[in-house]
Amino acid sequence: MEPLTLTRRAVLRATLAGLTWMTPVGHLLARAAEKDEPRARSVILLWMQGGPSQIETFDPHPDTDIAGGTRAIRTALPGALLAEGMEPLADEMGSIALVRSMESREGDHERGTYTLKTGYLPDPTVVHASLGAIACHALPVAGTDIPRHVSILPSVWSARGGYLGDRFDAFRTGDPAGPVPDTASDVPAARDAARLEGLSVVEGAFAQGRLKRVEATGHRATVEAARRMMASDQLAAFDVSREPLAVRKPYGDTPFGRACLAARRLIEVGVRCVEVTLDGWDTHVNNHSLTRGQVGIMAPAFAALIRDLRQRKLLDRTIVLCCGEFGRTPTINPAGGRDHWPTGFSIALAGGGIRGGQVIGATDPGGKAPPTDPVSVGDLHATVLTALGIDPAKINQTPIGRTVKFSEGQPIAKLLAR
């Protein structure tokens, strides 16, 4: 039997595993661990709520019946076309990997969102953890006083901690043009301090004789974490107005553009996962005109984010994933729209651990045959987790004792740079 060898990295991982943004210890150890880890450490999910049309974005079929008049543009990646309007992303295709053959078994918005965000079909016996929740759970803390899982411009189905616990749910906030809600006291400092002192007295009295029950609620830890966040300089990461105009302008003067810039700022201070939502892709009517407007918001912000991360040497350590819950039908309905299509839709990835400059899978220009090289949602999740250095096959136990893997899929070797 070989001797057991404990490396510095293994000790750090074991020590820090499971700590959340509410844990005020281990920051120096976590930073030391990160110096040993060259792989991606954060995820930015650009969530296209409603299901974007792949034909008017990442998978155009110009001069075919299914295009419905949609034209295409050339990109920096030979042979890889994007739909007209996606020009800001054309020069970044050397860093982007397109998967045009995604397949999901869910064509309903809520169920499809659950599937894409967790990698699992909805199940009444368990709430699965989202990618961001798993990243926060599995990777060491990085000295953050603000939540390490953030959802900006969230939909009603923002990312959740699931069986890992509510403390891994995404912190929800709105347009970075405004302040983060509920992070400043609405009373003078002296009165605020008096309130906290009174709360401490009440909590202490209530805890007498029932300390374990009180600790199990997590109330005290939550209040302490909230107070640290309110007093932290890191809260300024949400404030994109601190950036020069030359940095802000390429993202676009839109809530989504500002949110993408805030995502970069949050990653810089140690946030593990930022989910940025662009709603409005449910184009059952007027697909072409509605999608054109959405592309005009998404494409420049996505491209600016990639460039910004690269310039700050953060792209190699940050995975950027752009997707929605499904795609749209190759056929155009009588209202000029495209309907739900969970077979052969597109997603885009860039950054840490992902091999850019390639296209995986292809869809039928006639809109009838299944896609080539199909990729399941589980395989996508397993790939991202592997790029983060997280074992997708790790078995976890739910609160009711059920065992669940982080992912049932298999990593896609062609997408991984290592």
| pLDDT (tens digit per residue) in 89-114 | 999 999 999 999 999 999 999 999 99
Rounded CA gap, 371 and 345, in Å? 9
- Residue 389, Ramachandran bin (φ over 0: left; ψ between -120 and 50: alpha; else beta): left
State how far the alpha carbon of 76 is from the alpha carbons of 89, 95, 329, 354, in Å.
9, 10, 27, 18
Q: How many CA atoms lie within 13 A of 252 on its CB side?
A: 20
| Both structure tokens of 290 | 């509605």
Task: Indicate the domain borders of the chain.
Answer: 8-176+239-415, 182-234
pLDDT number for residue 364: 98
pLDDT number for residue 172: 97
Q: Which residues of 158-189 are buried (b: 16+ CB within 10 A; e: fewer)?
A: bbbbbbbbebbbbbbbeebeeebeeeeeeeee
pLDDT number for residue 218: 63
Reference 377, options 118, 186, 166; nearest CA is: 118
Rounded CA gap, 45 and 320, in Å? 6
The residue ranges of the chain whose pLDDT is under 70 are 1-38, 142, 192, 205, 214-221, 224-225, 418
The CATH code for residues 8-176+239-415 is: 3.40.720.10
pTM (whole model) above 0.85: yes
Which SS3 state, helix, strand or coil, does residue 197 take?
helix
pLDDT number for residue 39: 76
- In contact, 145 and 234? CB cutoff 8 Å: yes
Rounded CA gap, 396 and 403, in Å? 5
Q: How many CA atoms lie within 13 A of 382 on its CB side?
A: 18
Phi, psi (degrees; rounded to nearest 5) at 178 = -110, 175
- In contact, 404 and 128? CB cutoff 8 Å: yes
- In contact, 56 and 71? CB cutoff 8 Å: no
- In contact, 103 and 376? CB cutoff 8 Å: yes
pLDDT number for residue 107: 97
- In contact, 371 and 362? CB cutoff 8 Å: yes
| Both structure tokens of 343 | 């077979």
- In contact, 156 and 164? CB cutoff 8 Å: no
Rounded CA gap, 73 and 80, in Å? 9
CA gyration radius for the chain? Answer: 22
| Both structure tokens of 113 | 């969102």
Which SS3 state, helix, strand or coil, does residue 230 take?
helix
- In contact, 116 and 46? CB cutoff 8 Å: no
pLDDT number for residue 197: 72
Beta bridge partners of residue 275, listed in sequence order: 45, 151
